[in-house]
Homo-oligomer: A and B are copies of this chain.
């Protein structure tokens, strides 16, 4: 197959938007979620993020990256002000509205109203969830880590609340996101549904991994 190679100088010489597209799409498929916040005055904000990553299970921690020179700044300001926010998975039925939350709306404008997504408020909880979303997480701010290399910020947060459809939770604790309709994204603008190849058994040296369902059936037999 014809291959193309790029070194550091090639990449840094790319036109700016071309490089952003190239580097953003190079890293693989990504988690896609809508982060819901509310500022001290009560205005809600909703923004699409694709840098959610797992940090630990005990306590349940995750991180995501914010670029403070973009519309993501509203999300950051609200989180630092109120310390709480929601994470809502995106399904195919509303992925265009999710994408649209990235538009440069003013601080006074709520992306909920602008995109037609529905604000869902839980009694006694300040930030808004996305009613349309199947998988909803309530999170509390833990730490702000400044990344000096390029001025971006990593937010570290703890999962405090989870709401999922009962049918997607498997007996071993696995949450079947594909069954929930959660989609994935690539680059800045490419959205993808998924099709499971297999779950595999826990990796041990000198033993071939097997399809999980097959293994479970064997145990039952």
Give A contacts to B, CB under 8 Å.
1-8, 11-12, 14, 16-33, 50-65, 67, 89, 92, 95-96, 99-105, 109, 114, 135, 137, 142-143, 145, 147-150, 152, 154, 156, 158-167, 169, 172-178, 182-184, 186-187, 189-209, 212
Contact = CB atoms under 8 A, between A and B. Distances in A.
13 contacts: A1-B167, A4-B164, A6-B162, A11-B162, A17-B173, A27-B31, A27-B52, A29-B29, A55-B150, A55-B152, A63-B65, A178-B192, A191-B198
Given A6-B162, A21-B174, A61-B147, 9 more contacts: A4-B169, A14-B173, A23-B60, A28-B30, A55-B65, A56-B149, A56-B152, A103-B205, A177-B186
Contacts of A59: 12, 149-150
